[in-house]
Amino acid sequence: MSVFTDEEREYLASGVRLGRLATVGPDAMPHVVPTAFRYNQDHDTIDIGGHDFPTRKKYRDVLRNSKVAFVIDDIASVSPWRVRGIEVRGDVEVLDTGGIELGRGFAPEMFRITPQRIVSWGLGEPMSFNAGADPSRQAAAGSRRPRLEPRRLPKAVEDAGHRHALARLSWLADEP
């Protein structure tokens, strides 16, 4: 059984290829970069790789702190206004192989994000919002903001996905 809903899996398989990865640097400052990804149905994870991957800041950040957020979104329509997307928060497993399969010229190293929390919007139902419309008509029509669907995954799923991350965290705790 997948941790993603049917709508989320359909969106991930729809051809969206770019997302934004948020990591935390050693100075506790956030770092966000666009990056290619793939939804891995076999592991129910988000896999991320790239060119010269192990030389990038995001790679160094994840070696220090495996907690990340990843957002995949797009604008489905501008008239009517319709946005949709998924935010995945979780732990990253750094893999030495598999990255080459993600894209042409990619490095062998890659990240595998195991979701802990998923929030999605605009996937299940069309929505519209016209910023230039008469406010009284908008109020009468009701709010058309994206419906956010946050959910924490069951404890058993979290525990199974974090054994590797917990081992890394215990190793980090031993550092001076």
In a domain, 154, yes or no: yes
Q: Which helix (H) or strand (E) holds 130?
A: none
Residues (pLDDT < 50) of the chain are 126-146, 158, 160-176
Dihedral in degrees, nearest 10, Cα atoms 33, 101, 159, 14: 70
Q: What's the pLDDT at 149?
A: 54
∠ CA 133-84-89, nearest 5°, is 135
CA 54 vs. chain centroid, Å, equals 20
Residue 77, token pair as written in the block: 């329509």
Alpha-carbon distance of 70 to 77, in angstroms, equals: 22
In a domain, 127, yes or no: yes
Alpha-carbon distance of 78 to 67, in angstroms, equals: 33
**159: domain CATH number?**
2.30.110.10
Q: What's the pLDDT at 1?
A: 84
Counted domains in the chain: 1
In a domain, 48, yes or no: yes
Residue 55 structural domain:
6-173
Digit-coded pLDDT (tens) for 95-146: 999 998 988 999 999 999 999 999 999 997 543 333 344 444 344 434 444 4
In a domain, 73, yes or no: yes
In a domain, 1, yes or no: no
- Give per-residue burial for 36-56: e unless 16+ CB within 10 Å, then b: ebbbbeeebbbbbbbeebeeb
Q: Does the predicted TM-score (pTM) go above 0.85? A: no
